[in-house]
Amino acid sequence: MIERGRAEWLVRNETRGTVVAERAAIAASMATRLRGLLGTTSLPRGHGLLIRPCRQVHSFFMRYPLDLVFLDWNDRVLRTVAGFARNRVSPFVRGARAVLELPAGTLADTQTGAGDVLRFVRGASTAEREADVA
């Protein structure tokens, strides 16, 4: 999922003390936001894509379901959508500044929900990741 030259981010749920994604990329340019995960055959466990700015996504032409996390300007979770199916349009979430797309099942595994605060750590090493989780 992570392309060569793209920075990797560790995404932690500070509220729950869980790791939401070990390898997340950020789609911030018009081109990367438009492409998103289109053309991918799967999104491996532990991966994710943060699309910003963004208040709504679609899953047309996708091959697999996703979990969605809508975030405000302080990376607080405004809304989640578990198991977002193919060929759908998500809700428009007022106040959202970004959407984190995750493999289906991640929300349940990490107990991530509305009100939680996420933290993005750029290029965190394995040691930093382990220390962050402890």
Q: Note the pLDDT tens digit of each residue in 38-75.
A: 888 899 999 999 999 999 999 999 999 999 999 999 99
In a domain, 95, yes or no: yes
Query: Could you give the 3-state DSSP secondary structure of residue 9?
Result: strand
- Which tokens go with 125? 């090493």
pLDDT over threshold 60, residue 5: no
Burial profile 99-116: b = 16 or more Cβ within 10 angstroms, e = fewer: bbbbbbebbeebebeeeb
In a domain, 66, yes or no: yes
In a domain, 124, yes or no: yes
pLDDT over threshold 60, residue 128: no
Provide the domain limits for residue 67. 9-133
In a domain, 4, yes or no: no
Which residues make beta-bridge pairs with 122? 9
In a domain, 60, yes or no: yes
* Residue 25 contacts residue 35 (beta carbons within 8 Å): no
Q: Note the pLDDT tens digit of each residue in 98-119.
A: 999 999 999 999 999 999 999 9
Q: Note the pLDDT tens digit of each residue in 16-39.
A: 999 999 999 999 888 888 888 888
* Residue 20 contacts residue 57 (beta carbons within 8 Å): no
Instruction: In whole angstroms, give the CA distance from residue 117 to residue 48.
Output: 16
- Greatest Cα pair distance in the chain: 39
Query: Could you give the 3-state DSSP secondary structure of residue 73?
Result: coil
What's the pTM? Answer: 0.87
Lowest mean pLDDT among 17-21, 84-88, 121-125, 128-132: 128-132
Number of domains the chain is built from? 1
In a domain, 3, yes or no: no
